[in-house]
Copies of this chain bind each other. A is one copy, B any other.
Amino acid sequence: MMGKKKEKGTLIVLSGPSGVGKSTVIAELLSERKDIYFSVSFTTRQPRVGEEDGVNYNFVAREEFERMIANDELLEYAEYVHNYYGTSLRVIREKLDAGIDVLLDIEVQGAAKVRAKCADAVCIFIVPPSFEELSRRLHRRATDSEEVIQGRLQKAREEYREIPNYDYLVVNDKVSDAAAEIISILTAEGCRTKNRMNLVEGV
């Protein structure tokens, strides 16, 4: 029954502080669960080295982003460290209606907006094993100035206050373990009675 087509896809919201290794976990997750549609966010920030337009983000100009806001084309959007980040509504709706699970990588403000609109969303917060380790990872990445890194660490502490609003908490100690836990969460969510009553005869 594990591959059985669902009537409606699950909307999965993944949040976690900058530097926690979310992109790596997501890459591992998507390589194991190729049936998941990863919703590529729109952003006005500059691509980092190795980031690809349409893969990591849809990189757009500030004017284009503000046009999407004005046209109500976004499920959620937020401004974060002076850049916009947002999620297109239309594509997500199509996928969910086709029974496909959709994965969103969004920060805590956006996640709160999605939760308000989609009560069925499954929200997962990823943390590092410790703040010390988060600081190490941000320094190792070597893409940001010390000032930006300190800003990200401060931001992480604020984001942590939102954790109780998430359904699940995953610690990214080892990427493969974190991805495996998320896969288990998705399998379990698919087993929820409310999502499976169509499999029961005569009820």
Interface residues of A (CB under 8 A from B): 1-2, 124-125, 127, 129-131, 157, 160-161, 163-164, 166-171, 173, 177, 180-181, 183-185, 187-189, 191-193, 196-197, 199-203
Contacts and interface: CB of A to CB of B under 8 A. Distances in A.
Tell me how many chains of this kind the complex includes: 2
A201 B180 CA distance: 23
A169 B6 CA distance: 14
Contact of A166 (B167, B181, B193): B193
B202 A188 contact: no
Nearest to A199: B171
Nearest to A3: B177
Given A131-B202, A200-B127, A202-B160, A168 B184 contact: no
Contacts of A184: 183-185, 187-188, 191
A197 to B, nearest CB: 7
A59 to B, nearest CB: 32
